[in-house]
Amino acid sequence: MFSSRSRLILAMVPGLGLAFILSQFLRSVPAVIAPDLRAELDLTAAQLSALPAALFFGSAIMQLPVGVLFDRFGPRRTVAAFILLTAIGVLGFSYAQSTTWLSLSLLFVGWGIAPVFMGTIVLLSRWVPRDRLSTASALTVGVGGLGMLLSASPFAAATDAFGWRATLAAIGLFSILLALLVILTVRDRPPDDPPPVEAGESLVETIRGLAVVFREPKLYALGLIAGLVVGSFLTFRALWVGPYLNDVYGSDLLQRGNIIFVISLAWLVSAVAIGPLDRVFDTRRGVVAAGTLGMCIWFGLLATADGSSLTYAIVVMVVLGLCSGLSSPIFAHARAMFPDRYVGRVVTAINLFVWGGVFLIQVGTGAFINAFPADALGQTPVEAYRWTFAVLSAALLISIVIYWRVGDEPPSRDRPAVEGR
């Protein structure tokens, strides 16, 4: 029924799928327990934003090393080894008693999950036809999106029943088993394909490949919109939506979890639905620009929410999620600009912009919100959130203008770039 190639792909799905689910889960967890962390450790808005920012900073600084490791040693060994770092970080976080310990633990988590998405994209680039990369990536992102769903209502329920420390400790132990599953089931390339790095290529030559990627001026426009699209939504979803619902609407843990679940489900739908649109309309740039414009509009509408209607805020946040699943066409656009041998480094470069953007946006919004005085209960005023959403909306609009200058790479053309251009 299935070819040998198909059986190998199916065998890899559980390990890679669970790894991606875990990475998305851990990136999204802070939003649910942020009010609890703030109350338990008496954190300011700036200190609170610094916690998940440590995770994304860890991911950002690992992008370049991981990209080289992929091209030289393969995703299988790289991802499995780094998942063990994730286990160390999660277990450390579950026992942490200070902001320093929490931040250091999340730094380890960031290191550990850094190669998961990149590794999946690299593997897809080797196992599926190039013109179907965006669709395959979208399906993969959709699977990973289950982690975002699990970090909402299910995690809130587990936290309510067992506490966040015990819940995360169990997840840390699960991570160790997951590393073993990846090493046993994942294969770096199809048996009939040549190695991605030519025999005899030295480490210096491999690193020089990064220079080829970074010499492409268009990469920076792509990196800007990637960083703002992913960074703004993840900052909202993984950090501020919990405090926003708590401070402005008085939502408790379970209500926050349920609302975040719906927002996450909307994002998951968009991640799966938007991916194939580049082939439907034969444009990657158009899909990315349209989705980013939608995010700009709905962040702007969220900035008009004055705290009087939770229903209005929920509708706006859900539609925002429906516009935000743009990772697949962004990565496919970047991937189409370079020869196959640079795939690991191309994904690395865009991911560097993505996680660097998340880190900067989280730290920046934390400092911005912290400038607004908290009330007697330590809660942030609605004006702080409204101005934050307005700034994100404006930044997204600017990124569209800059990105539109990048030439399109429609799937129908699907031609490799001239090496070294």
Residue (of 361, 341, 352) closest to 419 by Cα position: 341
184 band by pLDDT with thresholds 50, 70 and 90: very high
CB atoms within 10 A of CB 27: 26
Residue 261 near residue 320 (C-beta atoms within 8 A): no
> Distance between CA atoms of 176 and 199, rounded to whole angstroms?
33
User: Picking from 8-12, 270-274, 279-283, which range would have the lowest pLDDT averaged per residue?
Assistant: 8-12
Token digits for 69? 């490791």
Distance CA 228, CA 250 (A): 29
Output 300 or 7, whichever has higher pLDDT.
300
Structural domains in the chain plus CATH codes: 4-190+206-403 (1.20.1250.20)
In the numeric block, the tokens 């911005």 are attached to 368
Tokens at 306, concatenated: 């004055």
Q: How many CB atoms lie within 10 A of CB 200?
A: 6
pLDDT at 200: 45
Tens digits of residue pLDDT in 158-172: 999 999 999 999 999
The 10s digit of each residue's pLDDT in 383-417 is 999 999 999 999 999 999 999 999 898 988 765 44
28, two tokens: 């999204």
How far apart, in whole angstroms, are the C-alpha atoms of residue 155 and residue 153?
6
For the entire predicted model, the pTM comes to 0.80
What pLDDT is stored for residue 199 in this prediction? Answer: 47
